Amino acid sequence: MSLFKKNRRALLVLEDGSVFEGSAFAGAGEALGEVVFNTGMTGYQEIVTDPSYKGQIVAMTYPLIGNTGVNDEDMESSDLHLEGFIVREYSSRPSNWRMKKSLKDFLEDAGKIGLEGVDTRSLTRRLRLSGSMKGILSTEPGDVPALLEKARHYPGLVGRDLVRDVSCAEPYCWEKGAPGTVSLPPGKSAGKPRVVVLDCGVKYNILRILESNGCEVIVLPATATADQMLSYHPDGILLSNGPGDPSALPYLVDAARGVIGKTPVFGICLGHQILGQAVGGKTQKLKFGHHGVNQPVKNLETGRVEISSQNHGFVVVPESVGGKASPTFTNLNDATSEGMAIAGAMSVQYHPEAAPGPHDTEYLFSRFVAMMKKQR
């Protein structure tokens, strides 16, 4: 049985005037963001530490969250970047052999609000019908009209550069499964392909998989130019996932344009959108985005259907890159662009590193390594 009544009363107020009542199992105060839903049954720790959720309040559709606590191994960044977290029921007695702390303590240590007791099915239906909406979480719910006004004045994601808020400040090497020293190696390893990762909000599992594929991994801030990336003499460049509106990132588009054709390039999620713009394409916002671990994509080369992990609210408009890039994957739910190939570059809209989610498409990292080795 849930312990809702022991927590502080709290509200979620959406910009359309909808009010959802619950109680705060973590944190206090107010939090503004774009409200989205995630359909994953597992992986809440990876979700709350994914930098791509910057600027968003995430509601989980699975009804019971928090039962395994939080551990050191499943972090996807060093911090929490989402604005708030909504669940139907929080598991107040978590237990797992890897657990270091509860989800409640994890959120509170980061100053984030966790809301439970909300009818998440009703909330999800509203977001599906009306689209993602601006909203506010508050543990001081006395003045609903004032909260509604704040929600409506939240700037949202369109036109906003949130990458600078989540990117690393200084270059670093990824070593032995963790961020390492900022003192970079003096020369390239003879046996290891060197990958420069442009950190737009990179998930750690991207770096883990690159390292497990035998790569030397150097991570640079998102503001690095094409010349700065190439100065490390990489065998390949990876443009990472990240938050916000891809059309608000001209400096990233310029950087991508400057490296295409000079070394193999792999774009993931936001990196896919940046590559699309670099060849003259356009992006657009989805109604409610793709946030979950069960999105079917069709491999247009093999005809195979693969299940993917996804977290994005913007997509590349396929017609805008016609003749400039070849489509490689398409989403079977809504026919949106899920991948493309350019001479010397490839990209996918989904997350082949999963974390959380299925591993159907992890082979793309091996393909990227093969591209680099072929060019060495």
Average pLDDT over residues 285-294: 97
Which comes out higher in pLDDT, residue 286 or 182? Answer: 286
Query: For residue range 301-352, what is the model confidence (pLDDT) as tens digits?
Result: 999 999 999 999 999 999 999 889 999 999 999 999 999 999 999 999 999 9
pLDDT at 145 over 60: yes
Q: pLDDT-based confidence at 375, cuts 50/70/90?
A: confident
How many residues belong to the chain?
Answer: 376
Average pLDDT over residues 151-165: 97
Query: For residue range 19-44, what is the model confidence (pLDDT) as tens digits?
Result: 999 999 999 999 999 999 999 999 99
pLDDT at 7: 77
Q: Which of 199, 182, 179, 196 is nearest to 81 (CA)?
A: 199
Average pLDDT over residues 216-244: 97
pLDDT at 4: 44
Domains of the chain: 6-153 (3.50.30.20), 163-375 (3.40.50.880)
| Average of per-residue pLDDT values in the chain | 95
Q: How far apart are CA 350 and CA 331, in angstroms?
A: 10
pLDDT at 1: 37
pLDDT at 183: 67
Query: Active-site positions?
Result: 269, 351, 353
pLDDT at 190: 67
Tokens of 46: 């990876």
pLDDT at 189: 66
Query: For residue range 62-87, what is the model confidence (pLDDT) as tens digits?
Result: 999 999 999 999 999 999 999 999 99
pTM of the model: 0.96
End-to-end CA distance of the chain: 60
Burial of 376 (0-12, 13-18, 19+ CB in 10 A): exposed
pLDDT at 241 over 80: yes
Beta strands at 8-14 and 133-138: parallel, antiparallel or unpaired: antiparallel
Are the C-beta atoms of 235 and 263 separated by less than 8 Å? yes
